[in-house]
Amino acid sequence: MSDLRITEAFLYMDYLCFRALCCKGPPPARPEYDLVCIGLTGSGKTSLLSKLCSESPDNVVSTTGFSIKAVPFQNAILNIKELGGADNIRKYWSRYYQGSQGVIFVLDSASSEDDLETARNELHSALQHPQLCTLPFLILANHQDKPAARSVQESSEKLILTVFAYLFQCFFGVWGPWIYLLCHSC
């Protein structure tokens, strides 16, 4: 567990003790947000969630079906539903969209042209889905540390993202604190 997470935990425990002793009531609940995390197999969705939950990415196994992780932050809790990215699972993605308040789309920026085309089609399908079309999307161009990785600009052009202001790049050495800062500032 990182020093920042430990410090946050102690501060929150201090706050709970203070509230219990002085205010004689439960602390205010942190808001919870339900997000869906999608992307093709091998894009790094499971590794992202493992990193956010301070778990070791060494034992990551590709998700078959879906998994849900609660990622606690100081001011909110993100309930992230990760959907497997295999061909035979993607057709069921829309069954899990209901109730989502945001979308994380993870892209393997070092993928083949065929996989990039498939990712583009899946992203555009999600962007047009009635349950997602009004929600905020966070698009992560993962695997930036690989030699064949496309730049954020090139990935954006290949995905035909003309409406978006931001496409974030990330790789294991950076994305834990980066994602924290993005979510913390919400």
Residues of the binding site: 39-46, 63, 85, 142-145
CA distance 87 to 65: 11
Would you call 168 helix, strand, or coil by DSSP? Answer: strand
Binding positions for GTP are 39-46, 85, 142-145
**Cβ contact 33:73 at 8 Å:** no
Binding-site residue set for Mg(2+): 46, 63
Of 108, 87, 83, nearest to 98 by C-alpha is: 83
Please compute, for residue 46, the number of CA atoms within 13 A of its CA located in the half-sphere on the CB side.
18
Element (H, E) at 148: none
* CA 138/CA 118 separation, integer angstroms: 18
Phi, psi dihedrals of residue 4, rounded to the nearest 5°: -65, -45
d(CA 15, CA 42): 40
Burial class (CB in 10 A: 0-12, 13-18, 19+), 29: exposed
CA triple 67-28-99, angle to 5 deg: 35
